[in-house]
């Protein structure tokens, strides 16, 4: 059994008290709650269940404690884009949906998705869209709390759904497409519920056979939705094609670069970026999340492999993704900035001198070397907004400054 944690603050006067008499079932807070000995009773963003409240009452516990500074940490990132309660409701729905689909795979593979389940999800996505429009300046905070592998899938689907809806809204796609990207995000990994948990939780040492099973999940999910009259074609394509990549290394088809742009709709390609981003910034059973900034820098470096001269994602898609979400994902600051060394797709190396607020991937830069890494005698300044012929292919990690 875990030994009790030290209370958050040694000085109890800094901890605030919550009177349980006033807590209604399903209330959600931004704090971790502790008992008087410092044991965690409930983590932030998890609702108080009826049974937990009854249990506490039975144990004669009248107060829980929390550290008010915890809230301040999360407030630093600005107003939340989605109301916590709605985010929680979406999470619960993702949970119901994935459990329901797992049962279908286990017990009645012939059965399709019920209309009621789809409509419930669509209703939630519509609520999310209303929130997004209402909180235009809000910042997206992914759900990252995680206790076991199952929660990763629920969290992940919720995050991809909200990101898809947000991206579609920011890019001013039609209402139907916004809703389809939100729903597609929620449904995109349905096929994973058919895979044994032992395989899903393995990160390393997957055998070839096991990796082949994982690679089947888009197709397996698609089989479930393919003929469903209550889903839109785009939603089905998101399920089927979200792991295709521009360099031909994706799955299930491994479409090559010629076919990728034609066969995979723009909206699905954007959902792939949401999927990757959500995975990077989430806590997984096997690893800590990247910060938004580090996740985006990593993604930028993923778009194009300069030595192989292949595109993993299309630069234009990443540019749209960043143009729409760059600020939303990074607490109002850029993930690259003045002083960063970058490599252009031409091979030239440059330093960022000034950012462009609306187009973060089109800053003013100073070219330092030619494509053969030779320093230029006369350094040239370029405004990338006016020069669309080149784009940033890599950002170099900053070396630690010597003290
Ligand atoms: Fe997937
Ligand atoms: Fe995914």
| Structural domains of the chain ordered from first start | 12-75 (no CATH), 84-289 (1.10.3210.10), 310-395 (no CATH)
- Beta pairing, strands 304-305 & 310-311: antiparallel
pLDDT of the residue at 255 = 94
- Of 262, 261, 240, give the one whose Cα is nearest residue 251: 240
The CA 106 to ligand 2 mean position distance, Å, reads: 21
The CA 286 to ligand 1 mean position distance, Å, reads: 17
pLDDT of the residue at 1 = 37
pLDDT of the residue at 399 = 57
pLDDT of the residue at 7 = 46
Q: Which ligand is nearest to the CA of 242?
A: 1
- CA-CA distances (angstroms) from residue 241 to 85, 161, 254, 368? 31, 16, 10, 40
The answer to whether the predicted template modeling score (pTM) of the entire model surpasses 0.85 is: no
Q: Which ligand is nearest to the CA of 274?
A: 2
- Listed in sequence order, the residues at least 6 apart from 388 whose beta carbon sits closer than 8 Å to its beta carbon are none
Angle at 99 between CA 97 and CA 104, to 5 degrees: 95
The CA 257 to ligand 1 mean position distance, Å, reads: 20
Question: CA 165 to CA 144: how far, in whole Å?
Answer: 19
- Of 391, 177, 237, give the one whose Cα is nearest residue 300: 391
pLDDT of the residue at 72 = 46
Phi and psi at 229, nearest 5°, equal -75, -10
- Of 306, 312, 309, 330, give the one whose Cα is nearest residue 272: 312
Lay out the sheet containing 392-395: strands in order across: 375-383, 364-369, 349-354, 341-344, 392-395
The CA 160 to ligand 2 mean position distance, Å, reads: 7
The CA 193 to ligand 1 mean position distance, Å, reads: 11
pLDDT of the residue at 169 = 95
The CA 218 to ligand 1 mean position distance, Å, reads: 6
Q: What is the mean pLDDT of each run of 10 residues along the chain (403 residues)?
A: 44 69 71 82 77 87 78 54 86 89 85 91 94 84 66 88 95 97 96 87 80 94 94 98 94 92 96 94 74 88 74 90 74 76 92 86 93 89 84 79 39
The CA 57 to ligand 2 mean position distance, Å, reads: 40
- Listed in sequence order, the residues at least 6 apart from 341 whose beta carbon sits closer than 8 Å to its beta carbon are 349, 350, 351, 368, 395, 396
Q: Which ligand is nearest to the CA of 155?
A: 2
pLDDT of the residue at 129 = 95
- Of 58, 53, 11, 61, give the one whose Cα is nearest residue 35: 61
Alpha-carbon Rg for the chain in angstroms: 23
- Beta pairing, strands 364-369 & 349-354: antiparallel
Q: Which ligand is nearest to the CA of 275?
A: 2
The CA 275 to ligand 2 mean position distance, Å, reads: 5
């Amino acid at each position: 059994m875990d030994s009790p944690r030290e209370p958050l603050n040694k000085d109890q006067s800094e901890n605030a008290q919550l009177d349980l008499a006033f807590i209604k079932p399903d209330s959600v807070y931004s704090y971790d709650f502790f008992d008087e000995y410092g044991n965690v009773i409930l983590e932030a963003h998890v609702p108080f269940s009826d049974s937990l409240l009854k249990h506490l009452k039975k144990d004669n516990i009248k107060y829980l404690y929390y550290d008010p500074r915890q809230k301040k940490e999360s407030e630093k990132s600005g107003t939340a884009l989605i109301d916590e309660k709605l985010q929680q409701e979406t999470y619960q729905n993702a949970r119901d949906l994935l459990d329901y689909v797992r049962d279908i795979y286990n017990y009645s593979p012939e059965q399709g998705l019920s209309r009621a389940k789809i409509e419930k999800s669509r209703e939630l996505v519509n609520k999310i869209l209303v929130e997004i429009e209402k909180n235009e300046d809000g910042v997206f905070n992914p759900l990252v709390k995680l206790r076991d592998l199952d929660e990763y899938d629920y969290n992940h689907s919720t995050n991809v759904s909200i990101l898809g809806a947000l991206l579609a809204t920011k890019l001013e796609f039609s209402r139907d497409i916004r809703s389809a990207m939100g729903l597609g995000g929620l449904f995109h990994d349905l096929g994973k519920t058919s895979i044994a948990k032992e395989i899903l939780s393995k990160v390393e040492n997957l055998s070839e056979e096991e990796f082949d099973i994982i690679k089947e999940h888009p197709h397996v999910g698609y089989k479930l939705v393919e003929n469903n009259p209550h889903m839109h074609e785009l939603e089905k394509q998101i399920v089927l094609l979200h792991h295709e990549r521009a360099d031909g290394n994706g799955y299930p088809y491994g479409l090559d670069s010629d076919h990728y742009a034609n066969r995979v709709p723009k909206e699905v390609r954007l959902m792939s970026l949401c999927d990757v981003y959500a995975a990077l910034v989430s806590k997984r059973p096997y690893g800590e999340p990247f910060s938004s900034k580090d996740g985006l820098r990593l993604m930028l470096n993923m778009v194009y492999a300069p030595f192989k001269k292949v595109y993993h994602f299309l630069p234009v898609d990443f540019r749209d993704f960043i143009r729409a979400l760059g600020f939303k994902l990074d607490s109002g600051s850029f993930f690259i900035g003045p002083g960063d060394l970058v490599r252009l797709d031409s091979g030239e190396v440059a330093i960022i001198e000034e950012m462009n607020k609306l187009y973060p991937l089109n800053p003013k830069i100073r070219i330092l070397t030619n494509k053969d890494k030779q320093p230029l005698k006369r350094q040239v300044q370029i405004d990338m907004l006016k020069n669309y012929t080149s784009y940033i292919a890599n950002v170099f990690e900053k070396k630690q400054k010597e003290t």
